[in-house]
């Protein structure tokens, strides 16, 4: 997940050059997290961490406004729309809100308004300034256009100026009126938040987990993920709701105050953010904040703060906007709920795909009304970055997220003999070796075929349609057989016949269903090599790669032996694999990790004995002169890359050799060729120039 460096304190005295670099770095971090949050609905840091990142940027930018990068995040409202949906321009921009984190920030907000309007307050607040306070819902802002009272277009905020057209999806939301009630202008845009209630979120995640799908991190991500479906029938299955809180463009004035607007929205048929309150002083705003804070956990939806808005629309107009937010409104955010406790241990969880996740085992502690005894530590990097050690006194946080997090650890309270955590090098479940993946902070168990934590997922893949395609052996039956102790590895599938009598005794099984299942399994005892390779579920080896490996190695013993040698770092075997088109280093590393694990090899060998593995037929013999010939390339080709040349030769039925031998038919010589030419000459092999070779392929 996040590898972000902690931001430097704002109090540091920056030199301009340093400040410029730091601003660029922070801006890049912000963009990265914006992309994860808005683009992929997969945040890597908590909202509080994100806010503090933005705060650090804003503070430094205030000191050096002239050094802000061109793509200044302060000037950008949201995240640019994704491809896939058509675009909708917002006639009135959809803005964001400034944040207040403390009572002082709220006092400043009110004072700023007075100053801007030129109202003398003599230390007292002007009685004419009234506010409406509403809960701030954690969802996705959305603009709904009504023409003649009918919903015509629904759009996301996007970057504030252009959003995505999500009309089809929004039509599936029950709390969005398709037709306004009562009187309405010819055209009006209603703005509000699409969100998911907490109960619906929990039910959705339960269903996703049961279906082996990744759960959403929080209701906001669930709402975003559900709304951004290109297929509206999926959106329809998710229980989304809508709160209205503002207007966009309108063909005629609607209301003179926010209070009147709320009434109007309600009579048109919208649901509003409740409980709202009218407030006339800062003290009243803060009292509302405290009250909602207390009621927060009892609300059926997640809120991350409250919003204060100047009630009078004429004043709103006068106050206008500054960069990305209105001057007349502010979001007062709740602090993340935190508590201190002791980290008893760090355990490692093995996910169904083999990813190892460190988990903090805590002395149980009450965090904002919920007892917390475990928190995620995300990954090995995070433990190092935050210097978290077993025995430490740590700060735990729940910030809208369902999964508690460790914010920091107090190094001052640490025992003298404490030591950094060493990440295990063996899987805690199956003891296979742990591999680190480049470009990805996760570590993974390499015992894919053997590890009980990955068993069910691997077996499900093994029998799936494009792999062994065993009908009647679905997810639930796999689970049943695993629980009965009949199924551990793929080989066991082909021994299920041994349990025929026991199976007939079980509820839900009849003579017919048992014999159908066993027949389906028997039918797959003969399997093409490519299907077998794909079925093993080696990370990175999809159907296309599996087919390619089968085409090249042709039969099982040859392929298996080559893979074993790749894992044993055999130079020739590695070069041969590397020479295949479209095979990259990541794939070689993955294959190598997989076959280096003795457990995996044992499972494959056991399985192979129970199967008849069909040889991959040679590519259809073409009548091309290159068909069946073995070609070796050497030196640099001018007109195309090496891989393209190889792919071309293979498509004509030729085989590619990596070294010169008596079986070589042609050596194609590019520029700066090495010793291969001499060897070819000595063996009397035909040497082709690049031009001659191209001519042959035509
Ligand atoms: S008023 C001109 N009221 O929070 C801005 N926004 O962080 C009009 N939000 O973009 C926004 N609850 O998506 C408003 N009661 C509420 C809200 C609310 C949630 C969202 C909205 C906004 C974001 C800012």
Tens digit of each residue's pLDDT (9 = 90 or more) over 311-359 = 999 999 999 988 779 999 999 998 877 889 999 999 998 887 788 989 9
Q: Which range, of 174-183, 224-233, 510-519, averages the lowest pLDDT?
A: 224-233
Cα 96 to middle of ligand 1, angstroms: 7
Q: Residue 73: CB within 6 Å of ligand 1?
A: no
For residue 155, the tally of other CB atoms under 10 A from its CB is 28
Atom 2 (ligand 1) nearest CA: 95
Mean pLDDT rounded to a whole number for the chain: 87
Q: Is 78 in the pocket of ligand 1 (CB under 6 A)?
A: no
Q: Is the Cα torsion angle 670, 675, 678, 682 positive or negative in sign?
A: negative
Indicate whether residue 136 lines ligand 1 (CB < 6 A): yes
Q: What are phi and psi of 293, to 5 degrees?
A: -55, -40
Choose from 442-456, 602-616, 617-631 the range with maximum mean pLDDT.
Answer: 602-616
**Looking at ligand 1, which atom is closest to the CA of residue 134?**
15
At residue 13, does pLDDT exceed 60? Answer: yes
Indicate the top mutation candidate among 327, 331, 334, 400 to test ligand 1's pocket, ranked by most ligand atoms within 8 A of CB. 331
What are the φ and ψ backbone dihedral angles of 140, each rounded to 5 degrees? -130, 125
Residue nearest to atom 10 of ligand 1 (CA): 96
Average pLDDT over residues 108-128: 79
Residue 1 has pLDDT above 70, yes or no: no
8 Å CB contact between 322 and 341: no
pTM of the predicted model over 0.75: no
Looking at per-residue confidence, does 269 or 540 come out higher?
269
Q: Give the model's pLDDT for residue 10.
A: 40
Per the model's pLDDT, the better-predicted residue between 277 and 404 turns out to be 277
% residues pLDDT > 90 (the chain)? 48
pLDDT of residue 40: 62
- Residue 621 has what pLDDT? 59
Cα 272 to averaged position of ligand 1 atoms, centre (Å): 12
Look at residue 79 in the predicted model and tell me its pLDDT: 53
pLDDT band at 544 (very low <50, low <70, confident <90, very high): confident
Q: What pLDDT digit, counting tens, does each position of 137-159 carry?
A: 989 999 999 999 999 999 999 88
CA 306–ligand 1 middle distance (angstroms):
9
Per-residue confidence band for 62, with pLDDT thresholds at 50, 70 and 90? confident
**Nearest alpha-carbon partner for 656 in 549, 541, 576, 586:** 576
Q: With beta carbons less than 8 A apart as the criterion, state whether 444 and 354 touch.
A: yes
Q: Determine whether 20 is an active site residue.
A: no
CA–CA separation, 504 and 500 (whole Å)? 6
Q: Which CA distances in Å does 356 have to 361, 379, 444?
A: 15, 8, 5
More confident residue, 207 or 403: 207
CA proximity to 648, closest of 692, 691, 698 = 698
Q: Which comes out higher in pLDDT, residue 215 or 291? A: 291
pLDDT recorded at residue 44: 73
Q: Which helix (H) or strand (E) holds 115?
A: helix 103-117
Residue 440 has pLDDT above 90, yes or no: no
Ligand 1 center to residue 204 CA distance, Å? 25
**Residue 256: predicted pLDDT:** 95
Question: Which pLDDT band, with edges at 50, 70 and 90, does 3 fall under?
Answer: very low
Q: Are 116 and 319 contacting, i.e. CB atoms less than 8 angstroms apart?
A: yes
Identify the active-site residue in 32, 87, 120, 136.
Answer: 136
The answer to whether the CB of 331 is under 6 A from ligand 1 is yes
Ligand 1 neighbour 96 (Cβ under 6 A): yes
Is residue 78 predicted with pLDDT exceeding 70? no
């Amino acid at each position: 997940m996040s590898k972000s460096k902690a931001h430097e304190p704002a109090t540091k005295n920056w030199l301009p050059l340093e400040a410029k670099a730091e601003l660029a770095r922070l801006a890049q971090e912000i963009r990265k997290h914006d992309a994860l949050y808005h683009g992929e609905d997969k945040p890597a840091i908590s909202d509080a961490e994100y806010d503090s990142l933005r705060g650090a940027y804003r503070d430094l930018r205030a000191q050096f406004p002239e050094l802000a990068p061109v793509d200044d995040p302060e000037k950008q409202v949201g995240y640019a729309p994704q491809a896939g949906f058509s675009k909708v321009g917002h006639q009135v921009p959809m803005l964001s809100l400034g944040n207040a984190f403390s009572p002082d920030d709220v006092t400043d907000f009110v004072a700023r308004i007075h100053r801007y309007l030129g109202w003398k307050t003599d230390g007292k607040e002007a009685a004419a300034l009234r506010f409406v306070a509403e809960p701030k819902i954690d969802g996705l802002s959305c603009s709904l256009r009504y023409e003649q009272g009918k919903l015509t277009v629904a759009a996301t905020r996007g970057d504030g100026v252009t959003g995505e057209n999500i009309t089809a999806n929004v039509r599936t939301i029950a709390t969005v009126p398709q037709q306004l009630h009562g009187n309405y202008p010819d055209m009006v845009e209603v703005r509000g938040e699409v969100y998911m209630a907490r109960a619906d979120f929990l039910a959705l995640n339960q269903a996703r987990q049961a279906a082996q799908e990744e759960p959403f991190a929080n209701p906001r991500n669930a709402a975003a993920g559900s709304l951004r479906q290109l297929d509206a029938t999926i959106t329809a299955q998710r229980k989304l709701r809508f709160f209205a809180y503002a207007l966009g463009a309108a063909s005629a004035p609607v209301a003179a105050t926010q209070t009147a607007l709320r009434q109007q929205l309600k009579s048109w048929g919208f649901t509003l953010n409740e409980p709202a309150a009218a407030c006339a002083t800062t003290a009243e705003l803060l009292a509302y904040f405290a009250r909602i804070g207390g009621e927060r956990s009892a609300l059926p939806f997640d809120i991350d703060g409250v919003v204060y808005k100047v009630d009078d629309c004429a004043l709103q107009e006068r106050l206008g906007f500054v960069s990305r937010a209105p001057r007349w409104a502010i979001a007062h955010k709740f602090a993340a709920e935190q508590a201190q406790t002791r980290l008893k241990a760090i355990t490692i969880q093995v996910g169904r795909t083999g990813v190892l996740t460190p988990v903090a085992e805590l002395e149980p502690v009450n965090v904002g009304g919920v007892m917390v005894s475990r928190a995620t530590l995300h990954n090995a990097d995070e433990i190092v970055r935050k210097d978290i050690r077993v025995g430490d006194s740590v700060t735990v946080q729940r910030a809208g997220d369902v999964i508690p997090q460790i914010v920091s650890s107090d190094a001052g309270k640490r025992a003298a003999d404490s030591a950094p955590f060493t990440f295990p090098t063996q899987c805690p479940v199956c003891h296979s070796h742990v591999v680190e993946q480049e470009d990805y902070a996760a570590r993974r168990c390499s015992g894919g075929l053997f590890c009980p934590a990955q068993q069910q997922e691997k077996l499900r893949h093994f029998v799936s349609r494009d792999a062994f395609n065993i009908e009647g052996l679905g997810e639930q039956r796999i689970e049943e057989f695993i629980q009965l102790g009949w199924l551990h590895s793929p080989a066991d599938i082909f021994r299920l016949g041994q349990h025929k009598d026991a199976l007939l005794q079980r509820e839900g099984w009849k003579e017919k269903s048992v014999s159908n299942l066993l027949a389906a399994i028997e039918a797959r005892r003969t399997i093409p090599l490519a299907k077998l390779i794909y079925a093993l579920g080696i990370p990175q080896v999809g159907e296309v790669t599996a087919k390619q490996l089968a085409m090249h190695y042709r039969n099982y013993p040859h392929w298996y032996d080559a893979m074993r040698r790749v894992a044993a770092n055999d130079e020739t075997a590695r070069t041969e694999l590397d020479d295949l088109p479209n095979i990259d280093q990541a794939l070689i590393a993955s294959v190598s990790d997989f076959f280096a694990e003795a457990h995996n090899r044992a499972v494959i060998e056991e399985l192979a004995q129970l199967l008849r593995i069909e040889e991959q037929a040679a590519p259809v013999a073409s009548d091309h002169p290159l068909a069946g010939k073995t070609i070796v390339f050497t030196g640099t080709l001018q007109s195309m890359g090496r891989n393209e040349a190889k792919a071309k030769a293979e498509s004509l039925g030729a085989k590619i050799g990596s070294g010169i031998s008596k079986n070589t038919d042609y050596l194609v010589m590019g520029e700066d060729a090495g010793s291969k030419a001499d060897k070819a000459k000595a063996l009397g092999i035909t040497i082709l120039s690049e031009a001659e070779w191209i001519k042959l392929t035509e």
